[in-house]
Structure 1
Amino acid sequence: MIDRRRLMLSAAALTASAAAEPALAMRSPRDEMLASVFEGSGAPALAGAVIGREGLVWTAATGVRAAGGEDAVTDQDLWHLGSNTKAMTAMLYGKLVEEGLARWGATLPALFPDLEIDAAWAETTIEDLMTHRAGLLDEAVLDLPTRSGGFSDPRPMEDQRTDLARRALSAAPTGEPGVFAYGNLNYILVGAAIERITRNPWEEAMRARLFNPLGISSGGFGPPTGDQPRGHMNMGGPVPVQPDQPGSDNPPFLGPAGTAHMTLADYGRFLVLFLTDGGGFVTPGTLTRLTTPPEGAEYALGWAVAANSPLTGGPMLAHEGSNTLWHVTTIVAPARGLAAVAASNDHGRGGPATQGLALRLIRPET
């Protein structure tokens, strides 16, 4: 169940607005924005957060955890980040470089020395994967049998991801190297490389080297379980999907490309790094590398980038994530020291709502 669309925002697309709603007593302007966008969305729930250089500035949530139910969402609930996970995977690789365990410019043959790799990949680098310019297309490997089989495959994640790398690299690129083509397979291979470097599953490496140092205590993978919001499919209306149901998420092997979940407050701990030149977690040089696209491109390592956006009054980082059941929109204005996040447990109705809310929250007047 892989969303094949480009789940990110371009500068030209950042023009949405939301209608006004009658004010309620004691609500902040941001609370008003959330209520206004939610009211017209039809989504089961909508949440938002604003993050500054010192951390969380504001967060709130409205609606219900599951359509047809009465269990209200809270600002402590978990939200599936989808492809916003990609920037975390890229950050993890950057941290490994700083630790001397990895290097920028590493080629695929160097990262996977035990695999038989087609000669056409000889000069392809880890950055080519993370900027979606390797010529690696999802269709070449992530067919329906592969995706379906990923839910029941008993092999360790490292073996599954290595097998996908083997299949992808044993033949010449099916896309055009050097040309942007967004896809999840790129980051699955980055995850497989991280697993070889750390000798741990990507999930464990993320917890140990990113989540724990940043204080992200709510971070996990796959759909949230327990008393948490449910993702929704569209069947004439939003229908909640339980986390143990088939189709509640993408197959687990897709993790490095998009299966992380956490509270918006914890996600903010990650976003602070992009407002503070790395926040001491990585160096400013590493952060610059992560957020600088190749010449003439608009996608860096896990972020769509606008060098000078009227919306943010300077550089802008943006991305969206969805497994077709959830939707999260993130916009970062580094020069203003501000980031905005909006999340919904419904992709179809909540997707446009998260875009509208994030746009309103990041505007200079807010």
Structure 2
Amino acid sequence: MPTPRTLLAIPVSLALLCLSPVPSRAHPATTTNALVTLLVTRGGAPAAALLAQDGTGPRGNRTGTDQTRAGTTHVPTGTVYAQAATVYAQARTVYAQAGTGITRADHFRAGSITKTFIATVILQLAAEHRLSLSDTVERHLPGLVHGAGNDGRALTLRSLLTHTSGLYDFTALTGGTIPVSPTEAVRMALTHPPADRGRFSYSNTNYVLLGLVIRQVTGNSYATEAERRIIAPLGLTGTSFPGSRTALPTPHGRAYATDGSDVTALDPRVAGAAGELVTTLTDLNRFYSALLGGGLLPSRRLREMLNTRTAHGSYGMGLFPVKLPCGITVWGHNGRISGSYVRTAATVDGRHVLTFRVNTSEVADPSLEPALLAAEFCPRTS
């Protein structure tokens, strides 16, 4: 459940990216695959996998590719407010893996990528006029946020979505390893004074509170609402909110902490609405493609989701931008939970999307993530 990394500050060498001085839309067959291998050899992961989908048309011959069928995601009336997004049109899928113990179909823990799902549900409720992003936290959760200088009357739902509430991150106290209920997580955070309100300060407590708001407004858990509004309509058959179930669905590989211990079995209540999600590579690509393609939110709400002014350019609502060295900006989120690090990024239209994962808590070499994104999204030579 990490803070978004400042990727622009990390130099990406031309040698690593195998770039040539003459730009073009063709993609070399080995660049992305080679970088996935580096996640293991240099990044310290037991295994790594990547799935990229480019709906802009064929991308040349690449090893490990398979042609996918064009399809349209149709979401029931009441969930989609404009036309449903066409996903994976004329697309080519690229799959790469390195190390052992990971397959393309595996289920894994997605950590803070959960936040994009939660933000989507909140924005759908706003579009239905069941809440306003300007509502105070006190209005929906009366009496909950108070103490040590914290005051729910002074905080809006927008401040939770954009991480500008100043609320302390409860996982700084639990280490992300102790299962707690949502109210326990909030009460732990409220023993600490807030940071400056209005300043971007990433805190998992914000999204735990949004999960409670969803229940208050709908009468259902955030998991039930996300399943009804996102998971079922998009056919995300490998995606679930496991609650307190410690086992991953099959198939799955093993997950390892940074000290090498096996943490495949994990109580998802260590993260809750801030990072509970279990999913697959295919499902994450489909979700972000549909979301950014306009299939889950009306255009006004999607623009709000992508607006980073409140967080001074650092974060939208459940999404954050990264400007690559070639000038292209990609949108998405990362997720870290014990035994899993995941990153999804996509072009703003959702037509080109990439997800990579490793089966440990972090990548040892931080330069590899921006290198992967640049290798996938920046134009290059044949």
- Select the structure that is richer in helix: 1
For this pair of structures, how many residues does the alignment match?
329
Change beyond 3 A, Cα 1:14–1:219:
farther
Secondary structure at the counterpart of residue 224 of structure 1: coil
CA deviation after TM superposition for structure 1 residue 275, in Å: 3.7
Which of 148, 158, 168 is matched with 1:127 structurally?
158
| TM-superposition CA deviations, 1:239-266 (whole Å, max 9, x none) | 43332xxxx36x5162221121212111
Amino acid at match of 2:318: G
Amino acid at match of 1:143: L
Structure 1 match to 2:12: 15
CA deviation after TM superposition for structure 1 residue 305, in Å: 2.4
Which of 178, 182, 193 is matched with 1:161 structurally?
182
Secondary structure at the counterpart of residue 337 of structure 2: coil
Which of 205, 221, 229 is matched with 1:201 structurally?
221
Structure 1 match to 2:237: 217
TM, length-normalised to structure 1: 0.77
CA deviation after TM superposition for structure 1 residue 167, in Å: 5.8
Structure 2 match to 1:269: 286
Amino acid at match of 2:300: G
CA deviation after TM superposition for structure 1 residue 6, in Å: 1.7
Query: Is the 2:140–2:213 Cα contact (8 Å) retained in structure 1?
Result: yes
What is the identity percentage for the equivalent residue pairs of Structure 1 and Structure 2? 23
Rounded Cα–Cα distance in structure 2 between residues aligned with 1:14 and 1:105: 39
Q: Does residue 136 of the first structure (1) align with residue 134 of the second (2)?
A: no
CA deviation after TM superposition for structure 1 residue 122, in Å: 1.5
Rounded Cα–Cα distance in structure 2 between residues aligned with 1:227 and 1:258: 20
Rounded Cα–Cα distance in structure 2 between residues aligned with 1:18 and 1:97: 47
Change beyond 3 A, Cα 1:114–1:122:
closer
Rounded Cα–Cα distance in structure 2 between residues aligned with 1:90 and 1:129: 10
- Give the alignment of 1:58-207 within 5 angstroms: 58-63=93-98, 66=101, 73-113=102-142, 115=144, 117=146, 120-139=151-170, 143-144=173-174, 148=178, 150=180, 160-165=181-186, 168=189, 173-207=193-227
CA deviation after TM superposition for structure 1 residue 29, in Å: 5.8
Rounded Cα–Cα distance in structure 2 between residues aligned with 1:258 and 1:39: 27
| TM-superposition CA deviations, 1:143-170 (whole Å, max 9, x none) | 34996353xxxxxxxxx3245445656x
CA deviation after TM superposition for structure 1 residue 342, in Å: 1.3
RMSD: 3.2
Which of 206, 227, 232 is matched with 2:251 structurally?
227
Change beyond 3 A, Cα 1:63–1:39:
closer
Rounded Cα–Cα distance in structure 1 between residues aligned with 2:93 and 2:298: 27
CA deviation after TM superposition for structure 1 residue 108, in Å: 0.7
Query: Is the 1:9–1:320 Cα contact (8 Å) retained in structure 2?
Result: no
Secondary structure at the counterpart of residue 257 of structure 2: strand
Structure 1 match to 2:48: 46
Rounded Cα–Cα distance in structure 1 between residues aligned with 2:369 and 2:318: 19
Unaligned runs of 5+ in 2: 19-25, 56-86
| TM-superposition CA deviations, 1:71-108 (whole Å, max 9, x none) | xx322222322111111110111112223322221111
Rounded Cα–Cα distance in structure 1 between residues aligned with 2:122 and 2:234: 15
Which of 283, 293, 297 is matched with 2:313 structurally?
297
- Indicate the larger mover: 127-136 or 225-234: 225-234
CA deviation after TM superposition for structure 1 residue 284, in Å: 0.9
Which of 272, 276, 287 is matched with 1:255 structurally?
272
